[in-house]
Amino acid sequence: MMQILHFKFCVLAALLAWGVGFAVAAELGLPPLPHPAHNLPTPGSIALGKKLFHDKRLSADGSVSCATCHIPEKAFADGLTVAKGLGGQTGTRNTPTLLNVAFEKNFFWDGRRATLEEQAQDPFINPREHGFKEHTQLIATIRNNQAYRLAFKKAFSVQPEAITMEHVTRAIASFERTLIAADTFFDRYYYGGDQTAMSEAAIRGLALFKGNARCASCHIIGETSTTFTDNQFHSLGIGYRKIEQRLAKITTHFAKQRGKPIDHSILSDADVSELGRFTVTLNPMDIAKFRTPSLRNVALTAPYMHDGSVSTLAEVVELEVYYRSLESGQPLILTPQEQSDLLAFLRALTSGKAAKQATGIKQVTNE
């Protein structure tokens, strides 16, 4: 029996790799790709997920798709301060990249969803994103489309009347788990043993990153792989000053809206958005805390932070240095050369695959 199961897995892996370019084996520098037991990918489900991801018909007015905010040519972010959705409405949060999202442990800036499948359902019924009032409207659109009926049958062996949101989100998540971009200058140097892969400046930056700058305390570098995040929530104080004097009023107002979907409150109210992880836990210690993002491909995904308020990587470095000083109670001072070296290291975290696909973004070199 075990031999049969092993054979089936090998066949599936070969089909995935051959049919859709799916990364079965881990790329250099990344851990093994996780495959949730409840949603093992197939070529059919991945292809369907890609179609759903790019389809603007899956919005209330036919103008918005997942790819509207997660643009392939912009490293699956959008380059905007905060996302724009239905009718040009703006939200309150910066769009994170979907590159390597398969390795995330929680989703959205406040971690309110635990899986990609759960995350995928929310934007469809957010008034400022896809704008459907109910998921049933989206399902009706899909069931009335012959191509989708055939695609869902191929992917999940399901008849049109039995198509559900679970099938939709499983397909989208399967596609998103193929968006792998590693094998960077850093990976080739640190994990591949190529001592010429990174510039001298980037090598000095790596030493600072792991040492005096203390960046690796949150953006952890493992012995055999790294996603450059501790999957925890921290506060840099960004945006907090705007609500500090009104905090009691804002938290009380939010608490009264607990019957309303959290994402509706967050994307429609800039004050509530600044509460961060608190909106999920209601723990006062979580106020203004946000998820530690991965630094992979960070040079391609400006602007930065949960609200998109930091425009450049240089500003990010200055802000992080200030935060580390406050956190430790000791001033952390980096010379201009050291800051430049840190920036060189951060640019070395760019996947060649992602950089090649990017347009309208300054290309990253090993300098």
CATH number, position 143: 1.10.760.10
Round the average pLDDT of the chain to a whole number and report it.
Answer: 90
283 domain-assigned? yes
Residue 5 included in any domain: no
Indicate the pLDDT class of residue 364, thresholds 50, 70 and 90. low
Residue 276 belongs to domain spanning: 240-287
Reported confidence tier of residue 6, pLDDT bands at 50, 70, 90:
very low
Burial class of residue 247 in the structure, from the number of CB atoms within 10 Å of its CB (0-12 exposed, 13-18 middle, 19+ buried): middle
Q: How many domains does the chain have?
A: 3
Residue 222 within a domain: yes
Write down the residue that tokens 């399901």 correspond to: 158
Lowest-pLDDT range of 43-47, 58-62, 94-98, 235-239: 235-239
Q: How far apart are CA 356 and CA 237, in angstroms?
A: 35
The rounded distance, in Å, linking the Cα atoms of 331 and 320 is 12
| In-domain check, residue 59 | yes
Q: What is the average per-residue pLDDT within 120-131?
A: 97
Are both 158 and 190 inside the same structural domain? no
Q: Is the pLDDT of residue 16 over 60?
A: no
Mean pLDDT, residues 141-150 taken together: 97
Residue 9 has pLDDT above 80, yes or no: no
Any alpha helices (H) in 211-269, and if so which ranges? 240-243, 247-255, 262-268
pLDDT at residue 190 in the model? 98
Question: Do 272 and 308 fall into the same domain?
Answer: no
321-354 per-position pLDDT tens digit: 888 777 767 778 899 999 999 999 999 999 998 9
Q: Are residues 170 and 104 in the same domain?
A: yes
Q: Of 17-31, 148-162, 218-232, 327-341, which gets the smallest average pLDDT?
A: 17-31
In which residue are the tokens 């391609």 written?
300
Asked if residue 310 and residue 350 are part of one domain, the reply reads yes
pLDDT at position 11 over 80: no
Helix (H, G, I), strand (E, B) or coil at 141: helix
Amino acid at residue number 72: P
Q: What is the pLDDT of residue 329?
A: 72
Q: Tell me, what's the pLDDT at 3?
A: 40
Angle at 113 between CA 46 and CA 254, to 5 degrees: 145
Entry pTM: 0.90
Q: What is the per-residue pLDDT for 366?
A: 59
Q: Over range 162-183, report the average pLDDT.
A: 97
Q: What is the pLDDT of residue 331?
A: 79
Q: How confident is the model at residue 14 (pLDDT cuts 50, 70, 90)?
A: very low
DSSP annotation of 39? G
DSSP strands (E only) in the chain:
233-234, 290-291
Q: 161: burial class by Cβ within 10 Å (0-12, 13-18, 19+)?
A: exposed
Nearest one of 359, 343, 363, 356 to 78, comparing CA atoms: 359
- Judgement on whether residues 265 and 253 belong to the same structural domain of the protein: yes
Residues 95 and 39 in one domain: yes
Domain membership of residue 79 (yes or no) is yes
Mark whether 166 and 61 lie in a shared domain: yes
Of 151, 176, 201, which one is at a domain's C-terminal end? Answer: 176
Q: Is residue 225 part of a domain?
A: yes
pLDDT (mean) for 229-245: 93
Residue 4: the pLDDT is: 38
**Given a cut of 70, is residue 363 above it in pLDDT?**
no
Per-residue pLDDT band for 71 (boundaries 50, 70, 90) equals: very high
Q: For residue 361, tell me if it sits in a domain.
A: no
Looking at the fold, whether 273 and 346 belong to one and the same domain comes out as no
Whether 119 has a pLDDT exceeding 70, the answer reads yes
User: Where is pLDDT greater, at 5 or 172?
Assistant: 172
| Mean per-residue pLDDT, 149-160 | 97
Residues 230 and 303 in one domain: yes
| Residues 220 and 348 placed together within one structural domain of the fold | yes
Residue 314 has pLDDT above 60, yes or no: yes
What's the pLDDT at 157? 96
pLDDT range class, residue 365, cuts 50, 70, 90: low
User: In this structure, what are the phi and psi dihedrals at residue 291, rounded to the nearest 5 degrees?
Assistant: -65, 140
Each residue's pLDDT tens digit, 56-65:
999 999 999 9
Tell me, yes or no, whether 23 lies in a domain. Answer: no
> Are the C-beta atoms of residues 228 and 220 closer than 8 Å to each other?
yes
Q: Looking at the structure, do residues 140 and 107 belong to the same domain, yes or no?
A: yes
- Local structure of 280: helix, strand or coil: helix
Q: What is the mean pLDDT of residues 176-200?
A: 96
Residue found under tokens 């200030």: 322
* pLDDT recorded at residue 2: 38
| Owner of token pair 């790329």 | 27
Judge if 305 and 334 occupy the same domain: yes
